[in-house]
A and B are shown apart, each in its own frame.
Chain A
Amino acid sequence: DAKTTQPNSMESNEEEPVHLPCNHSTISGTDYIHWYRQLPSQGPEYVIHGLTSNVNNRMASLAIAEDRKSSTLILHRATLRDAAVYYCILRDVRNAGNNRKLIWGLGTSLAVNP
């Protein structure tokens, strides 16, 4: 499975946009890019995923570089509730068997200042 690299921590101010980067230089053509987040004292929560095109949903946007070697999760207006650890995960759609396993790095711990 391809690996991802994320900064250990980032800081933002409330109401401002946040750009969380993820590098995945060994990504294959069949790897989807998934983002999850884990709020304090809670289980991980799905945020967004994409393959090649940029994606938007009610929680965030995902910007994927043209060469797919990096991506950025965008929170348009950070709130205090967005303080969490954000995980960038690659999932290969070709994998048979246990293709649903998520391989977790240590993620980026986002602090949001009031």
Chain B
Amino acid sequence: EAQVTQNPRYLITVTGKKLTVTCSQNMNHEYMSWYRQDPGLGLRQIYYSMNVEVTDKGDVPEGYKVSRKEKRNFPLILESPSPNQTSLYFCASGVGTSNQPQHFGDGTRLSIL
């Protein structure tokens, strides 16, 4: 079954404690992306990757890092989380052409205290 898998689904942590949210897709997609969703703001792109070792900033990259060492994995790293990063995070993947659908994970709800 085609899937984008995120872990963990829920996390409560404290300010400054480094965390990683993993994302894995089994569709051999070149493109992967991270979004955050906040009430009243919709989904906003954090980082994206066009292929292995190719990543770039989205609209709200501050405070986040990503890496793309393998095609299937695209982890989101918060080196020093802060309360304003409390949000619902989604990983997405897609094929090479812009009109193919993107596939989303079920989300990771992060609470930074």
Chain A interface residues toward B at CB < 8 A: 32, 34, 41-46, 49, 91-93, 95, 97-102, 104-107
Contact = CB atoms under 8 A, between A and B. Distances in A.
Interface string B11-53: 0000000000000000000010101000010111100101000
A91 B31 CA distance: 16
Given A98-B48, A100-B31, A101-B48, A44 B43 contact: yes
A24 B50 CA distance: 28
B42 A100 contact: no
Contacts of A101: 33, 45, 48, 58
A92 B99 CA distance: 9
Given A34-B101, A42-B106, A91-B98, 10 more contacts: A42-B107, A46-B102, A49-B99, A93-B98, A97-B50, A98-B50, A98-B58, A101-B33, A101-B45, A106-B42
**Chain A interface mostly:** loop
Contacts of B43: 44, 102, 104
Contacts of B101: 34, 46, 49
**Chain B interface mostly:** strand
Interface of B: 4, 31, 33, 35, 40, 42-45, 48, 50, 56, 58, 90, 92, 94, 98-99, 101-107
B40 A106 contact: yes
Contact of A43 (B45, B50, B90): B90
